[in-house]
Structure 1
């Protein structure tokens, strides 16, 4: 929990510097995502907050909180799964590559990796050549984590 407290303190500092507030409920939703360590839907987060923090949060409020946290780059929305995951770079102060997500189809774990901006720029050019406009460079790759792949190889 000490690591989560450190991450939350950094998130609060970042919000304060941006002139916004990480309210108690926003903090609880973020803490719920951090403590679960996997992508969660708004409904799952409502359950986590009720069970872990004894705090009832209406689902519509959870969605508003998640939108705020996403806008502050503290969480990412996984569009294909309609779930959210805490940004793995909340405590970093340096520039990051474009985030991409590896999603284990078996256990649901999510790993955030960075892809070089030059690769995304190339993708954007290829999309433009096909007469489309790239709306989001986010990729969600469906995979098996190492543990699930090993388990599958044994069975």
Structure 2
């Protein structure tokens, strides 16, 4: 489940997360930071229960899933983590330490191995979707896009079977 990021990259990400929290008047408590670290270390998105289990294993401290949900809500409100609605799982934002303006996230989800790639959607695409939705007499509630895919590794493995 876990493949640690190099310490210097993790330190940069955590510093940026702390700055972002401070800018929004939110404290990045030790437990919130540790939940973020669990997600940073994971190679796949995790449910709140999986996060609680990983937290217990990593930090030798139990954390109730309801507490995890509250922490995830806080981290998500700051775009430090994202919720994959189709999976009911969470992942760390892959752009935390970037200095560029973030685009609307698009998630490519491998249905075989669970790996997820986060890509930004161009504003023109989001605007075109918005217009199409309005023309159908609907209102867009969330512009995040989740696409079910096969990563190249799994696609190659399927071809070799």
Same fold, TM exceeding 0.5?
A: yes
2:10 and 2:16 map into 1 onto residues whose CA distance is 10
Q: Does 1:51 align with 2:64?
A: no
Unaligned stretches of 5+ in structure 1? none
Contact 1:75–1:84 under 8 Å retained in 2: yes
Match for residue 29 of structure 2 among 19, 23, 31: 23
Match for residue 101 of structure 1 among 107, 111, 114: 107
In the alignment, what sits opposite 2:69? 63
1:17 and 1:93 map into 2 onto residues whose CA distance is 15
Matches within 5 A, 1:3-152: 3-152=9-158
Deviation at 1:19, TM superposition (A): 1.7
2:56 and 2:159 map into 1 onto residues whose CA distance is 38
Deviation at 1:17, TM superposition (A): 2.3
Give TM-score scaled by structure 1 length: 0.96
Give TM-score scaled by structure 2 length: 0.93
Deviation at 1:77, TM superposition (A): 0.4
- Partner SS state of residue 141, structure 1: strand
2:11 and 2:123 map into 1 onto residues whose CA distance is 31
Unaligned stretches of 5+ in structure 2? 1-5
